[in-house]
Amino acid sequence: MDDSNMNDSRKNEIMDLIEVITSKLMVVNERSKSRLFTIKKTLDSTDPHHPMYADLVKESEKQEIFFEKVYTITDLSNRIIEDFERQSNSKLCFSDEGKKDRELLIQQYDKLMKEIKQE
């Protein structure tokens, strides 16, 4: 296998991995959005003097932060996919900038998965 075929093969493997991560993130994103909506709806219908109100506020804030993290990682992942598609015949995918984006995505994804497991 020559270098260009190996690069194409590697590019495809990376692309497949990022697409899998993105699809999983989209599912987590939808679940997070749904949970946030439910919490906010419950919060809106709860009397502020109710003993559970403070807990609902904390949970709402926590869920908003989680949702923002998931959204940010999903957005980064989608941008990487777009870059891959736009530059599919170029070596930009393997540039230092592309590598940094992929490493950042993996770090954020790992951190997010740890947070999910803690919940």
pLDDT digits over 18-77, tens only?
Answer: 888 888 888 888 888 899 899 999 989 999 999 889 999 999 999 899 888 888 888 888
Cα distances (Å, whole numbers) of residue 27 to 30, 89, 110: 5, 30, 16
Q: State the number of CA atoms in the 13 A half-sphere of 71 facing the CB.
A: 10
What's the DSSP call for residue 51? T
Tell me which H or E stretch contains 106. helix 96-118
Percent helix, strand, coil in the chain (nearest 5)? 85, 0, 15
- What global pTM score does this model have? 0.62
Q: What is the pLDDT of residue 4?
A: 58
Are the beta carbons of 56 and 46 closer than 8 angstroms? Answer: yes
Structural domain spans, the chain? 3-118
| Cβ neighbours of 19 (radius 10 Å) | 14
More confident residue, 107 or 87: 107
Cβ-proximal residues to 52 (8 Å cutoff; 6+ apart), any chain: 46
